[in-house]
């Protein structure tokens, strides 16, 4: 324990003496700051020099505290070393590092501490102080002397606070920032209740409803259609003899590897003004080429195509989870197939249906790409937030108010899902071998299921064929010659004087995307699994709230995250806009809940007695995690890494606020192409992304898959029609 404190304090002192306290231009990995004087310049000076030379006496405190802790840890100088005293000192040091810059930003205190972003030195010192404090706290006999667990809890809490809540707080303050005219409350209220937000004109014959009304309407429509389709597919797979079930399961990974707006793009190729179907209808049926696709209905169609697999994944679990013996019981009690479905099966699915509906609602509200591509004049909240920031109006206060409305809607749906449905589940997964056969569908139900699913399947196949075909067509709707031009524009590679020249226009954003995603993915998985481990295996005060908060961040729409990040990290003390770091951080904290969920599910399957065995054999909690749990969690880790990598590539909504000239991302670049009308190149680029992600998925599946424990599904023979007396 002493050694741990010593090492931590020494590391902190190193940061204090030899790393720039404040952020330097272009980051410390570029030469610029060394050319500007390195550690000796005012900007690049470490904490020690800032105190001695540059007149920042407050910064003496963390240095002195660290030195004191270091001395006491190795017993030099006979200094008093009661843990209580040390703990107080460490908290003081931490306050001296963190409080002044934030106080300067928010309250105007310590003006000399504001104005500059914190740098690596400050981060290292703060981390060292924090971990020294948790180690000592653990030693004081609380929390079972488990320094690693206590440190992890503190670290995760601080990170979530800084990168989830601190930015959201900025959105709230931005919303109530002083307007150019009128009072704060008046301006917030007028924005939040305005006709352009809540207007109902589209129901009364007017042209457009308010954006919030559009969002809710779209959410309800999409949630309804995806839930119905999802249930139909779940029934198709479990209760009919549909031959291509493997293909159906494969289709469920499509939305994972498809950037969300690509479906919208393909729909433009089909139903847009120059679309195939549109021109066909115009030529042969003499129907005027309409613009119906560019509006709520188009977005709804795109979202229904894109999100049905998500509803399916929820519902297949529910449909498979309901014990076949319940249906067999109903049949022995004289219910025919339709009656069994109506009176037993459907009521048992009800919690799952509600769950899928709410998930579809949240997904639809959070979707940014499809409304941007197809929305036309019918704006929704997520796109309106974006335009309020980047558009001509440039009104961050309005963006913030809209973001809060969107946040309330999604969090509301999320809370309903957790509170109301959290406990009602009829899924009966017992340890007993449940050997019944599922009831097949009655003829009528079977016809309905096929009637619903087959058009969706056909449309999906056509859509993906469009995506593929469209990327090879010269100019869609006008010149259908097959060409490789679009790929050439985006991904040209030339030999020039014996060197490779990546002259395609997409290479820059392509490599940035891959780099940022592959940096973020392992960090996301690590943080997610660490959090999952804390949630499942550690007991601590406020754990329920902690769990709730980590899951809550899942329901924050990407647009709100993006907005909150540019508002929070555009100014000191944490200044990150324009860097790659802000993208990495955004990915980590947006995708972390997925890692947490995966980790929780995986850790729950590992019997607790394995941990306890390791503990009684003298392994500490870190060793138990490292040598017992991690090797057993390998599949979950790989899945988390792969999934966060792919989510990094496909995400649009948050990223579009955070990209910069130096760090452009593929999706943001493609959106730009779409806005310029370069559909061909956009689709070609999207194709390349899909292929890359598919390759990653297959490689992962090939290398680590194959541990399937799913039991064989059987469909019972259709019962002979029961003679009714």
Binding-site ranges for other proteins (CB under 8 A) = 141, 144-146, 607, 609-610, 612-621, 623, 627-628, 631-632
Which CB sits closer to other proteins, 149 or 567? 149
Whether 647 and 573 have beta carbons less than 8 Å apart is answered as no
Q: For the chain, report the end-to-end CA distance as a whole number of angstroms.
A: 81
Which CB sits closer to other proteins, 280 or 627? 627
3-state secondary structure of 114: coil
Whether 521 and 532 have beta carbons less than 8 Å apart is answered as no
Token couple for 649: 């590539």
34 sits in which H/E element: helix 32-35
Which CB sits closer to other proteins, 105 or 626? 626
Smallest gap from residue 151 Cβ to other proteins (A): 16
What DSSP designation does 482 have? Answer: E
> Could you give phi then psi for residue 498, rounded to 5 degrees?
75, 5
Which CB sits closer to other proteins, 138 or 359? 138
Token couple for 628: 């017992």
Which CB sits closer to other proteins, 442 or 614? 614
**Distance (Å, rounded) from C-alpha 370 to C-alpha 375?**
7
Token couple for 503: 């002259």
Whether 275 and 463 have beta carbons less than 8 Å apart is answered as no
Smallest gap from residue 409 Cβ to other proteins (A): 36
**Distance (Å, rounded) from C-alpha 248 to C-alpha 233?**
8
Which CB sits closer to other proteins, 629 or 682? 629
Which CB sits closer to other proteins, 322 or 628? 628
Of 71, 128, 69, the residue nearest 98 (C-alpha): 128
Token couple for 210: 């308010």
**Distance (Å, rounded) from C-alpha 72 to C-alpha 53?**
28
Q: Using alpha carbons, list the distances in angstroms from residue 136 to 157, 163, 533, 561.
A: 18, 26, 22, 35
Smallest gap from residue 721 Cβ to other proteins (A): 48
Smallest gap from residue 613 Cβ to other proteins (A): 4
Could you write out the three-class secondary structure of 384-432?
HHHHHHHCCCCCHHHHHHHHHHHHHHHHHHHHHHHHHHCCCCCCCCCCC
**Distance (Å, rounded) from C-alpha 521 to C-alpha 650?**
13
Of 307, 362, 367, the residue nearest 552 (C-alpha): 362
Of 594, 595, 599, 626, the residue nearest 611 (C-alpha): 626
Smallest gap from residue 621 Cβ to other proteins (A): 8
Whether 87 and 136 have beta carbons less than 8 Å apart is answered as yes
Distance of CA 679 to the CA centre of its chain: 27
What DSSP designation does 495 have? Answer: E
**Distance (Å, rounded) from C-alpha 525 to C-alpha 294?**
38
Smallest gap from residue 620 Cβ to other proteins (A): 5
Contacts of 441 (CB under 8 A, 6+ apart): 235, 239, 240, 337, 341, 449
Which CB sits closer to other proteins, 144 or 177? 144
Which CB sits closer to other proteins, 332 or 544? 544
Token couple for 646: 């792919």
Which CB sits closer to other proteins, 141 or 243? 141
Smallest gap from residue 79 Cβ to other proteins (A): 27
**Distance (Å, rounded) from C-alpha 702 to C-alpha 695?**
10
Smallest gap from residue 548 Cβ to other proteins (A): 20
Smallest gap from residue 143 Cβ to other proteins (A): 9
Smallest gap from residue 419 Cβ to other proteins (A): 22
Which CB sits closer to other proteins, 624 or 644? 624
Which CB sits closer to other proteins, 79 or 632? 632
Smallest gap from residue 627 Cβ to other proteins (A): 7
What DSSP designation does 724 have? Answer: P
Which CB sits closer to other proteins, 138 or 516? 138
Smallest gap from residue 90 Cβ to other proteins (A): 23
* 712 φ/ψ sector (left φ>0, alpha ψ -120 to 50, else beta): beta
Which CB sits closer to other proteins, 628 or 673? 628
Smallest gap from residue 529 Cβ to other proteins (A): 17
Of 693, 630, 655, 642, the residue nearest 521 (C-alpha): 642
501 sits in which H/E element: strand 499-501
Smallest gap from residue 135 Cβ to other proteins (A): 15
Cis peptide bond prior to 598, omega within 30° of 0: no
Of 633, 634, 647, 632, the residue nearest 696 (C-alpha): 647
Which CB sits closer to other proteins, 142 or 195? 142
Token couple for 309: 């697999």
3-state secondary structure of 664: coil
**Distance (Å, rounded) from C-alpha 430 to C-alpha 671?**
48
Which CB sits closer to other proteins, 401 or 628? 628
Smallest gap from residue 69 Cβ to other proteins (A): 24
Smallest gap from residue 563 Cβ to other proteins (A): 42
């Amino acid at each position: 324990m002493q050694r741990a404190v010593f090492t931590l304090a020494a590391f902190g002192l190193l940061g204090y003496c030899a790393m720039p306290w404040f952020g330097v231009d272009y980051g410390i990995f570029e030469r610029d700051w060394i050319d500007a004087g390195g550690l000796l310049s005012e900007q690049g000076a470490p904490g020690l020099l800032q105190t001695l030379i540059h007149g920042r006496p407050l910064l003496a405190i963390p240095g002195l505290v660290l030195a004191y802790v270091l001395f006491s840890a190795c017993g030099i100088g006979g200094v008093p070393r009661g843990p209580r005293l040390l703990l107080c000192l460490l908290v003081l040091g931490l306050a001296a590092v963190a409080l002044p810059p934030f106080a300067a930003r928010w309250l105007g205190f310590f003006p000399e501490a504001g104005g500059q972003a914190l740098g690596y030195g400050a981060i290292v010192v703060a981390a060292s102080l924090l971990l020294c404090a948790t180690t000592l706290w653990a030693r004081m006999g609380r929390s079972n002397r488990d320094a690693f667990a206590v440190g992890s809890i503190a670290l995760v809490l601080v990170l979530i606070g800084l990168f989830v809540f601190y930015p959201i707080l900025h959105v709230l303050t931005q919303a109530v920032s002083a307007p150019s005219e009128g009072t704060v409350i008046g301006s917030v209220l007028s924005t939040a209740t305005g006709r352009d937000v809540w207007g109902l004109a589209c129901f009364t014959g007017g042209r457009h409803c308010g954006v919030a009304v559009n969002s809710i309407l779209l959410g309800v429509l999409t949630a309804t259609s995806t839930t119905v389709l999802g249930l139909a597919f779940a029934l198709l797979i479990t209760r009919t003899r549909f031959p291509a079930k493997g293909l159906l399961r494969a289709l469920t990974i499509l939305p994972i590897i498809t950037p969300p707006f690509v479906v919208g793009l393909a729909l433009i190729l089909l139903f847009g003004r120059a679309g195939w179907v549109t021109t066909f209808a115009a030529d042969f049926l003499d129907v005027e080429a309409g613009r119906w696709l560019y509006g709520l209905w188009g977005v709804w169609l795109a979202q229904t195509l894109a999100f049905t697999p998500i509803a399916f994944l929820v519902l297949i679990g529910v449909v498979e989870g309901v014990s076949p013996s319940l249906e067999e019981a109903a049949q022995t009690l004289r219910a025919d197939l339709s009656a069994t479905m109506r009176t037993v099966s459907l009521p048992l699915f009800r919690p799952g249906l509600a769950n899928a509906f709410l998930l579809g609602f949240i997904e639809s509200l959070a979707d940014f790409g499809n409304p941007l591509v197809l929305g036309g004049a019918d704006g929704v909240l997520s796109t309106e937030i974006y335009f309020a920031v980047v558009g001509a109006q440039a009104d961050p206060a309005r963006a913030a108010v809209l973001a809060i409305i969107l946040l309330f809607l999604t969090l509301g749906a999320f809370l309903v899902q957790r509170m109301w449905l959290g406990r009602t589940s009829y899924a009966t997964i017992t340890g007993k071998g449940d050997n019944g056969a599922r009831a097949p569908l009655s003829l009528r139900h079977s016809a309905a299921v096929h009637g619903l699913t087959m058009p969706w399947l056909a449309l999906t196949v056509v859509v993906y064929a469009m995506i593929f075909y469209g990327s090879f067509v010269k100019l869609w709707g006008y010149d259908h010659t097959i060409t490789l031009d679009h790929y050439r524009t985006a991904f040209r590679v030339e030999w020039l004087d014996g060197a490779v020249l990546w002259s395609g226009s997409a290479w820059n954003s392509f490599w940035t995307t891959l780099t940022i995603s592959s940096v973020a993915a392992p960090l996301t998985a690590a943080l997610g699994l660490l959090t999952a481990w804390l949630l499942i295996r550690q007991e601590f005060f406020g754990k329920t709230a902690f769990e709730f908060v980590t899951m809550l961040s899942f329901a924050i729409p990407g647009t709100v995250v993006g907005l909150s990040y540019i508002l929070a990290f555009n100014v000191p003390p944490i200044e990150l806009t324009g860097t790659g770091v802000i993208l990495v951080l955004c990915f980590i904290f947006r995708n972390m809940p997925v890692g947490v969920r995966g980790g929780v599910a995986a850790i729950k399957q590992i019997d607790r007695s394995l941990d306890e065995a390791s503990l009684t054999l003298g392994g500490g909690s870190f060793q138990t995690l490292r040598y017992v749990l991690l090797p057993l969690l390998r599949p979950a880790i790989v899945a988390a890494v792969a999934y966060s990598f792919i989510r990094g590539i496909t995400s649009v909504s948050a990223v579009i606020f955070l990209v910069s000239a130096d760090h452009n991302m593929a999706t943001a670049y493609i959106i730009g192409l779409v806005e310029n009308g370069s559909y061909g190149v956009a689709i070609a680029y999207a194709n390349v992304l899909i292929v890359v992600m598919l390759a990653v998925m297959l490689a992962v599946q090939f290398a680590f898959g194959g541990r399937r424990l799913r039991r064989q599904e059987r469909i019972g023979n259709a019962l002979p029609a029961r003679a009714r007396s």
